[in-house]
């Protein structure tokens, strides 16, 4: 078996083991599953006419499922061992704000507790006084275990084991020396530059496109984006970056050769990482976007497949809980696989032209449709439905997003040099923002949503089997 296949299958069985352990199955059941898989592959070897040795390799790989499950259990045990939190009692405690605060109608701070306590908790506070990353705080209040279970799983995935609402809070000290602190402040100044020269809604939307910042979004605008199916454009997930990365590459490819377009697209993603503070979740997003661009650049199935597998393996190795409890991670990989494998199959099935069309509209349509088809069961399971008209909305809006992102970065930097020049430049970029906001508004009013669908696990399995069958059918060799 070639080395690239050995790596791919070893990683795949490891990830299966991690996932099975996340379902809280007993080790006896997981060992039984591994053994049965090995038996099936050995049986496949003997009944195959060519006695393909790949079946014997797969039989051996089946036991890596146990390794993946053991890793998940060991990682979880170490994670819990380092936690010392007093629940359901009014106590005094202190900690440091360890991530960028989410601000809006309330502040959400992720706080790393200081001795004698240890672990991370989520602190909900009033919007003022405002606290920043790195601030050392004293609290007095009650820490509770998060409920319901799905919310608890989401928090535990991020290493957060408790929540507290509106405790008495005092600033103990500020930490402005950390590199991430400077990055977060730079991000805030970029947003302030937008707000100086653009109307409120346009500045908020531009902050969402370029930096994933949605604190200033009104409830009405959030609802409009949800109905139009365009929320992913301003969400820090591999789903939106996968789509936008391809759109940026296609747009730049209109003016530059393929290699230079690829290089500038990677630089755009790197700039995005630094401007958002280089958080772990953003780095994951950048990896996803980079893989999509790499897939388009190298175009080889084995190379792309292994790049996806290795990136998933490394992310799961750092935090195995994301494989089941991080919806962003799941959407990222589903959308990525849709773009890499389903998009070419659709293109071949409909025999569409190789050229992208004006400013890449055909490529954007293909990317958007393939990504959304790949995530339909996930969206319906987690968000209750999806919008049919969002396909057209995304095609229309993605035409302008790459240029808007580029101009947004330029506007943010220009604001440090000259407010007057930024104001003139802001008027120009405002034309693009007005167009994009109009698309969101129009499609939020004509949204054709399929909601309240209960696909379930069997339905999702059938759906993905159909997708896989469609891909295999269109990848088959054509008889001459």
Average pLDDT estimate for 147-156: 70
Which pLDDT band, with edges at 50, 70 and 90, does 151 fall under?
low
The pLDDT value given to residue 479: 43
Q: What is the pLDDT of residues 97-137, one digit of tens each?
A: 888 788 777 888 999 999 888 889 999 998 888 888 888 99
State percent of the chain over pLDDT 70. 80
State percent of the chain over pLDDT 90. 17
Average pLDDT estimate for 64-92: 89
Q: Cα separations (Å) of 430 from 177, 310, 411, 438, 440?
A: 36, 41, 11, 12, 15
- The burial class, CB within 10 Å (0-12 / 13-18 / 19+), for 477 is exposed
SS3 137: strand
The pLDDT value given to residue 74: 92
The pLDDT value given to residue 382: 67
Average pLDDT estimate for 163-184: 80
Phi first, then psi, for residue 219 (nearest 5°) are: -60, -35
Q: How far apart are CA 120 and CA 199, in angstroms?
A: 38
CATH number corresponding to 90-173: 2.40.50
- The burial class, CB within 10 Å (0-12 / 13-18 / 19+), for 323 is buried
Average pLDDT estimate for 381-407: 73
Q: How far apart are CA 139 and CA 137, in angstroms?
A: 7
Measured distance between the N- and C-terminal CA atoms of the chain, rounded to whole angstroms: 29
Q: How far apart are CA 121 and CA 365, in angstroms?
A: 42
Q: What is the pLDDT of residues 3-57, one digit of tens each?
A: 778 888 899 899 999 989 988 888 899 999 999 988 888 887 777 665 567 778 8
Q: How far apart are CA 275 and CA 268, in angstroms?
A: 10
Q: What is the pLDDT of residues 212-227, one digit of tens each?
A: 788 788 888 888 887 7
Q: How far apart are CA 350 and CA 312, in angstroms?
A: 31
Q: Is the dihedral of CA 335, 326, 382, 282 positive or negative?
A: negative
Nearest residue to 169 via CA among 142, 140, 131, 144: 140
């Amino acid at each position: 078996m070639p080395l690239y296949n050995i790596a791919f299958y070893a990683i795949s069985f490891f990830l299966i083991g991690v996932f099975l352990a996340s379902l809280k199955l007993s080790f006896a059941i997981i060992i039984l599953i591994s053994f049965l898989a090995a038996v099936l592959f050995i049986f496949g070897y003997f009944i195959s006419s060519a006695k393909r040795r790949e079946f014997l390799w797969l039989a051996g790989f089946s036991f890596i499922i146990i390794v993946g499950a053991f890793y998940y259990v060991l990682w979880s045990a170490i994670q819990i061992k380092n936690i010392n939190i007093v629940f359901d009692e009014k106590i005094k405690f202190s900690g440091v704000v360890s991530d960028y605060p989410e601000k809006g109608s309330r502040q959400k701070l992720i706080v790393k507790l200081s001795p004698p306590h240890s672990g991370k908790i989520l602190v909900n506070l009033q919007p003022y006084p405002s606290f920043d990353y790195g601030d050392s705080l004293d609290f007095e209040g009650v820490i509770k275990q998060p409920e319901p279970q799905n919310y608890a799983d989401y928090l535990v995935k991020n290493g957060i084991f408790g929540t507290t609402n509106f405790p008495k809070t005092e600033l103990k000290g500020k930490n402005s020396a950390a590199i991430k602190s400077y990055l977060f402040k730079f991000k805030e100044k970029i947003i302030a530059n937008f707000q100086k020269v653009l109307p409120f809604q346009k500045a908020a939307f531009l902050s969402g496109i370029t930096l994933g910042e949605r604190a200033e979004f009104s409830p009405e605008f959030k609802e409009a984006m949800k109905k139009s199916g365009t929320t992913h454009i301003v969400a820090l997930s591999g789903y939106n970056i996968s789509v936008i990365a391809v759109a940026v590459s296609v747009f730049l490819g209109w003016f530059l050769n393929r290699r230079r377009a690829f290089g500038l697209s990677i630089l755009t993603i790197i700039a995005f990482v630094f401007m958002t503070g280089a958080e772990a979740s953003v780095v994951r997003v950048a990896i996803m976007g980079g893989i999509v661009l790499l897939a388009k650049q190298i175009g080889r199935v084995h190379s792309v497949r292994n790049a996806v597998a290795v990136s998933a393996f490394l992310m799961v190795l750092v935090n195995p809980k994301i494989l089941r409890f991080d919806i962003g991670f799941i959407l990222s990989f589903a959308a990525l696989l849709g773009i890499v494998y389903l998009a070419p199959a659709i293109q071949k099935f409909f025999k569409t032209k190789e050229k992208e069309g004006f400013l890449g509209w055909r490529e954007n349509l293909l990317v958007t449709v393939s990504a959304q088809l790949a995530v339909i069961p996930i969206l319906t399971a987690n968000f209750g439905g999806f919008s049919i008209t969002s396909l057209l909305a995304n095609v229309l809006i993605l035409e302008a997003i790459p240029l808007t992102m580029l101009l947004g970065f330029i506007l943010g930097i220009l604001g440090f040099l000259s407010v007057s020049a930024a104001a003139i430049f802001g008027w120009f970029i405002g034309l693009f923002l007005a167009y994009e906001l109009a698309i969101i508004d129009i499609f939020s009013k004509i949204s054709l949503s399929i909601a309240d669908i209960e696909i379930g696990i069997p339905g999702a399995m059938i759906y993905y089997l159909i997708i896989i069958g469609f891909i295999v059918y269109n990848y088959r060799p054509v008889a001459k």
